Structure 1
């Protein structure tokens, strides 16, 4: 790894158990947390980010939530709300003293309480890369992009007695567009949140990744 010794196998069973035991509800931490600690996004400190939207629907409202781990993109491509700011943010520079760096990637999980069928959840997951593209992520050769979507609805169908016929409800395909909007928006925002929530980090071998200069980004939109 670039910032950490990812191949050192330092994570042990007791760490996993402690993480599970310490799980709690409430706001999700963002930035350099958990698996996002060693991540770099557009040459700035990346990591974990989240966002959500409320979608109006006659049977709703429904919630779309997104969690990402962002570790991708060259700085020149960084785009924030339609403005390509990367070329204007060449400094502070990333310091790279490790010859071989990890390949880039992004993992995104879409969660919703909208009742959807499996093929519809696949369609939601396929919209996630559009949110990545809005930030300047173009799925280059070495990038590993993984997106999943799930729904918490229709739980009763799983517990139906064997002697009965289970039934589910679902949003018609023709009414999915507002959910697609929400997926694209939340993925874009979650990636930016992962960067905004971060600080500078120095890792192994003196490798250094600066945080996104929030003051300069704010000034660009003033």
Structure 2
């Protein structure tokens, strides 16, 4: 097992490091950044403790930026597809993606009440970077959200434009942090602390090797449904109860961003995005009424989609797409579990507490004890 698969850069344990045996073969870093040219950056805001004072804190939030191209190509569009499993959430730019099958600029993910500023700040960042390009043109970047109000002063609007720029500027390839970082800082999953998670799969096709990478901001699920490697462990007595001094509202969502270097057309990328649903289902998610389950898929393979002449693109035939579907399912499942395993207990506003997933209890439930 490659050491990059076991822990995050800060040393937090990941699923494979816990001993979980996932299906499929991962890339060098088991991350969305295994897709060449894709980078990820965070701005994490953790401030204050105790009783909620709106506008003051406590603050448990942030911004994640997924940069799909090197900066010298960042305004060049990429083929993309979008799918909503349940639409009680927000992912901007989807009308344009549905209409044209493409998007450009960094993808940002934050909390529900900061989605707009993430979008607007990304445009401002692009205008300042590429003033001539946007002198007389528009930008419709993707910005997405999940709700962190159980732990965070979400109505204090602590995410500012500078945090969005910080996340974009911090984007890097290779191994990336997971857990309570960036937009995932204040999130929870199946009653345990969760947030940002990632994974990748390698797919062989026609004598070539392609990569499928998934990044999730996981904030969904009911405790009793938690399933790990096909085994329901949510009701296990060794798992700690959630202790809080206020009612924990069941507001749940997940954002999934799927990147690949395999050549696909927009309708095929929509099909790939749809398959994230099955990875979520394998962990016990079921897209409840209050859930925003929104998925974006894009490919870095088509490099020149601009106007001015007839363009030629290559693509994997629909009849051969199944191994890529499987890769999305596998990487989504692992990314969700990584977001929980690479994490720890967090106490936020009003003393609200979300426990970390206890590693030894998971290993015991799955028969993986040392």
- List runs of 5+ in structure 1 lacking aligned partners: none
Q: 2:341 aligns with which of 196, 200, 208?
A: 196
State whether residues 93 and 209 of structure 1, in contact with CA within 8 Å, keep that contact through their aligned partners in structure 2: no
Counterpart mapping for 1:200-211 below 5 A: 200-211=345-356
Q: 198-207 or 81-90: which moved more?
A: 81-90
Number of equivalences: 219
Structure with the higher fraction of residues in helix conformation:
1
Q: Does 2:367 correspond to 1:219?
A: no
Work out which of the residue numbers 181, 198, 202 in structure 1 matches 2:326.
Answer: 181
**Comparing both chains, which one has the higher relative contact order based on Cα–Cα distances under 8 Å and sequence gaps of 6 or more?**
1
**Whole-Å Cα distance in 2 between the matches of residues 206 and 77 of structure 1?**
25
2:127 aligns to what?
none
Q: What does residue 169 of structure 1 align with?
A: 314
Contact kept, 8 Å, 2:189 with 2:221, in 1: the verdict is yes
2:253 aligns with one of 105, 114, 121: 105
Match of 2:222 among 74, 84, 89: 74
Q: Distance in 1 between matches of 2:177 and 2:230?
A: 26
CA contact (8 A) 2:238 2:361 kept: no
Scaled by the length of structure 2, the TM-score of the pair is 0.57
Shift of 1:99: 3.9
Q: 1:100 to 1:135 in 2, by over 3 A?
A: closer
The structure 1 segments of at least 4 consecutive aligned residues displaced by more than 4 Å after TM superposition are none
1:145 aligns with 2:286: no
TM-score by length of 1: 0.94
Asked whether the equivalents of residues 2 and 102 of structure 1 are also in contact (C-alpha less than 8 Å), the reply is no
1:156-201 Cα deviation digits (max 9, x unpaired): 3x257x2x42100000000000000000000000000000000111
SS of the residue 1:155 aligns to: coil
1:5/1:101 CA distance change after superposition, 3 Å: farther
State the superposition RMSD in angstroms.
1.5
Give the Cα separation in 1 of the matches to 2:287 and 2:169: 36
Q: Which stretches in structure 2 are left out of the alignment for 5+ residues?
A: 1-148
Where do 1:83-122 residues align within 5 Å?
Answer: 83-89=231-237, 91-99=239-247, 101=249, 103-122=251-270
